[in-house]
Structure 1
């Protein structure tokens, strides 16, 4: 009997182990929504996934799953706001969303749909993290709390050009002032070239490349105080400063009936005209993310012979550098241990490294500690633009949705018919006056890291 009883012990222990495994809860599968498309090229699903716009972020999610054993379902959509609102209204929001529009953060804080992250993201635990955190005061709150983590930042005050343009003008000495940029534009025209690569298409938000132009000109022409007032709804669209920013853009790029092509061209296609045997354009005003479009669908393909110079100052001598940026910000819409682990992971160096490697060192954050990790050349220079000047967030990203939509529409109409400017600015002021002040997000510009 004793021998038989002892023989049963391994079986009983194995059964107990199986029961324990059966009883242990499995991590929930997380749902994540962001704006990056998963449409890529290649013969296999892995190749298409890797070459897609979302490829670098998917590599980060894969690294998270490998470490945590928590699976993630990713949904890429151009209209994150609509998908997110639909999920919230149905009571089934994603666990985590990456918001390309900063004002959405405020909208969801006010509605109570976004969870604070104060106990998930602690700056004292991670060097350089503080600049990545977005704090807002909740309704009926007495102090600001952390609701967003900036996981990607894009330098926008940049003008790109092909360094080896055949048979055409080359930017031998980047313009240091606006007057020099105008002179370069006219020189290209005199040589028979088309100076600017213009593409306004970006469904469902066509027109935003033009808003970037106007924001950038206003920032450099009138300074960050006027820019911040305007971004927060305190500066009239019909004011002299804002009106002249539109006019400066129109005079530089040549708006009017001949501008039909930019209205029909996507923003990520326009700049490729620089790389033909006979370039169809020579300068592209775009954010740092555009380099991936220049590369095509192969993330391992080295960037073409492209370079950039910062948007120049309007004064006779350059002052302290000031640049416009945009951000992709993570928010938590379902509070769970798994969601918290993902957001904590996204704030760390392991996520930044995975993102850099998968993007060919063309992924950047506001974390100043990450700067030295970039190799010499284009990646290091882009990273330096984010640490050596004052950074002002994209104004239209901080405006209420109705104001931003009206801004996009006005850009398209002005590009087609500049004589409408006065009417368009009046209409924009009407939208501004009908928008509650509590709907605006007036985030301050960021000083260079100390």
Structure 2
């Protein structure tokens, strides 16, 4: 036998063995089926989702979960849908893009798969004739984090100094969203939730003086146009602006960011606490506070028994929580019993609290993406704000897909 034939036979044997191993794995687990999932969680977030949520589902239902995580989730999903090979289930941050897919009849209704009374209406509204998504993980925004050693009374005082703000805009295909969070929140605190809702649902011009004031207020707070600050801020990743080769933050004491940062290395070491953002926003309204919120939402693109089982599992109050939840049937004991956690949970799930979707997450995808780009340009060149707002208004007027229904609620 020649050496080439020997290698060929060996390769065939190895292929047969590998195939047997795969078949053996499937037989050992006695899988009843499989479900494909697309999400934006990668790295440690993906691992926690796998360990805490998906592995228990697989053990209980004998359904294999094939998960794909991507920081360019929107682009991956659009390509898969166009090719006719969408995932069974998608988990996306925010409802705007999902509302567009629902309007195009791409999403399957989730009616009957979970109890909508477990959620305030804003979290799981009826869109395109049915409920098309369910929150998997919720985050509270409108928060300014500060070291625990810094008195709350001092936060507003030092907030007027741009050098006190940690600022990081880089997020791959979605770079800029920490800046859109800022502009949205300033508008919410200065103009109130009614004006915010008109703007977030496409009924208020980007050139409105109240919208423009929100931009300039943010720019003044963080030092827009200051090349010493803007360059590092544009390059630094939002997940860890305090470390790594592109670190933008060092001794800054304030950060405008959502609940997820409290578990990061920096704010854990600093024993981070938070105040409501209206504490630092010039011209903020008095009265009951309004909060921005966001969530990762699960939707179904292919109606299969396996996909339905996974949606039920994700909405089940007994399923492990990856962070905070909007599900009112999840017992309070699901979280660590500390004061900060209790405050955040009460704000996300309590009745009578005004909560508004992160506006960019609620906007049609083209509007959202233009908003992301505009904040990056504004940071670098604030004198061109008028031109940027005019561009954004043209994008608003070109939208043909339905905007999300009301984005605020206190139920």
Q: CA deviation at 1:246?
A: 0.4
For 1:386, what is the secondary structure of its paired residue? helix
Please give the per-residue CA displacement for 1:236-288, whole angstroms capped at 9, x wherever unaligned. 11111000000110111111132221111111122569xx9x94211010011
Tell me whether 1:213 sits opposite 2:213 in the alignment: no
Could you list the per-position Cα deviations for residues 19-69 of structure 1 after superposition, in whole angstroms to 9, with x for gaps in the alignment? xxx9xx9522111111011x3xxxxxxxxxxxx122332221111112111
Structure with higher RCO (Cα < 8 A, 6+ apart): 2
Residue in 1 aligned with 2:158?
184
TM-score normalised according to structure 2 size: 0.84
Name stretches of at least 5 consecutive residues in structure 1 with no aligned partner. 1-21, 40-51, 139-143, 165-169, 176-180, 297-301, 357-362
Q: Residue 147 of structure 2 corresponds to which residue in structure 1?
A: 162
Change (3 A) 1:69 1:322: same
Q: What's 1:255 paired with?
A: 224
309, 331, 341: which is aligned to 2:275? 309
Indicate the SS of the match to 2:84. Answer: coil
- 3-state DSSP class of the match of 1:318? coil
Which residue does the alignment assign to 2:70? 77
Structure 2 counterparts to residues 49-448 of structure 1, below 5 A: 52-58=44-50, 59-123=52-116, 128-129=118-119, 131=121, 134-138=124-128, 144-164=129-149, 170-173=150-153, 181=156, 183-186=157-160, 194-258=163-227, 259-270=230-241, 279-294=250-265, 304-312=270-278, 318-351=286-319, 354-356=320-322, 363-370=323-330, 372-373=332-333, 374=335, 375-388=337-350, 389-436=353-400, 438-448=401-411
1:320-357: CA deviations, max 9, x gaps? 12100111111011111111111111111221xx235x
Matched residues in 1 for 2:58 and 2:178: separation?
Answer: 35
Equivalent pair of 2:39/2:70 in contact (CA under 8 Å): yes
Q: Which deviates the most, 371-380 or 85-94?
A: 371-380
| Aligned mates of 1:116, 1:317 — CA distance in 2 | 39
Please give the alpha-carbon distance, in whole angstroms, between the structure 1 residues aligned to 2:397 and 2:166.
34
Aligned residue for 1:97, secondary structure, equals: strand
Cα RMSD of the aligned pairs, angstroms, is 2.5
Name the TM-score, length of structure 1 as normaliser.
0.77
Partner of 1:29: 34
Unpaired runs of at least 5, structure 2: 1-26
Taking the aligned partners of 2:94 and 2:213, their CA distance within structure 1 comes to: 26
Question: Which runs of 4 or more aligned residues in structure 1 lie more than 3 Å from their structure 2 counterparts after TM superposition?
Answer: 129-133, 292-296, 313-318
Equivalents in 2 of 1:400, 1:92: separation in Å?
23
**Paired residues, number:** 371
Answer yes or no: is the 8 Å Cα contact 1:96–1:330 preserved in 2.
yes
Larger radius of gyration: 1
